[in-house]
Copies of this chain bind each other. A is one copy, B any other.
Amino acid sequence: MLDLAILGLLEEQELHGYEIRRQLRDSLGLLANVSFGSLYPALARLEAAGDVEAVDGADEVAPTAPPTGSLSGERAVLRARRHSRPRGRRSRKAYRITGQGRRTFARLLAGDGADDARSFGLRLAFARHLPPPARLALLERRRAQLVERLAEVDGARSEATLDVYARSVVEHTAEGVARDIHWLERLIEAERKPDGQRAAGRAASRRESGGRVAGRPAMAGKGNERN
C-alpha cells in the first residue's frame, strides 16, 4: 500500500523520505498520513527489490520553494558556499524510480487485489496513470464491493437488537458506505462520457470552479434507508 504511494510520487520527481511524507500528508491529506516507522522500511524494501535506487543528490531543487528571489535566496547561496550543501540539514537520501519500479507501479495500480478504503483512494488518486478502461474497471470493481458489503450488513441490521449508541454507529457507517457508492457512481458516469479533457490534462483541470462538491445545493435525499 505504501509502495504504491511512494512509487507514484517518484514517478514524477526524485524525493527523499521526509519530503515524500510531507507531500503525501499535504496533498493527499486525510487519506495518507504515513508514519516514518513504515515509510523508511518501505523505502529500504523498495530499494532492495530494485524498484527504486538511491541518488546522492544533495543538489536537487527543493520542490516547494518558489524562487522569490529575495533575501532567502541570497542567504541560501551564502550557505551553499560555506557548507557546500544547499538547504541540507542532515544528509538526505533521495530516491529515483527505476524501470522495474515503473512496472511495479503499473502492476500495483491496476492490481486486482482486495482494496480497502485507503488502497482504493490511493489508486484513484493516481488514476491518471491508468488507461481509461482500467480506470473504469477500478471504479466499478470498488462499487461492486461496496454494494455487496452494504447488502450483507443491511440483512443483519434488521434483526439485531442494539442500543442507541451502537445503532447510531452502525447506521452512520452504513450511510457512509451508501454515500461512497453514490460518489463512485457519479465518477463512473463522468468517466463514461468522454469530456475532452483528460490524458495529460494538468492544465485543463486547473480552473474548475464550477464545483461539483463545494456548494452542492441539495443532495436528493431520496433514499431513506433506515429500516
Report A's interface with B, CB cutoff 8 A: 25-31, 121, 124-128, 135, 149-150, 152-153, 156-157, 160-177, 179-180, 183, 187, 198, 201-202, 204-206, 208, 213-214
Contact = CB atoms under 8 A, between A and B. Distances in A.
21 contacts: A26-B160, A28-B166, A29-B157, A30-B153, A30-B173, A31-B170, A31-B173, A121-B169, A121-B173, A124-B165, A128-B163, A128-B165, A128-B166, A135-B165, A163-B205, A164-B208, A171-B214, A172-B213, A175-B213, A176-B176, A179-B179
A38 to B, nearest CB: 15
A117 to B, nearest CB: 9
A130 B125 CA distance: 40
A172 B164 contact: no
Contacts of A174: 29-30
Nearest to A154: B29
Nearest to A31: B173
A165 B127 contact: yes
A4 B128 CA distance: 41
Given A28-B166, A29-B174, 17 more contacts: A26-B160, A27-B166, A27-B170, A29-B153, A29-B157, A30-B149, A30-B174, A124-B165, A124-B169, A125-B162, A125-B169, A125-B170, A127-B165, A163-B204, A164-B201, A168-B187, A171-B213
**Which 4 pairs, one residue from A and one from B, show the smallest C-beta to C-beta distance?**
A29-B153, A127-B165, A125-B166, A26-B156
A78 B183 CA distance: 53
A23 to B, nearest CB: 9
A171 to B, nearest CB: 5
A174 B183 CA distance: 13
Contacts of A214: 171
A48 B17 CA distance: 39
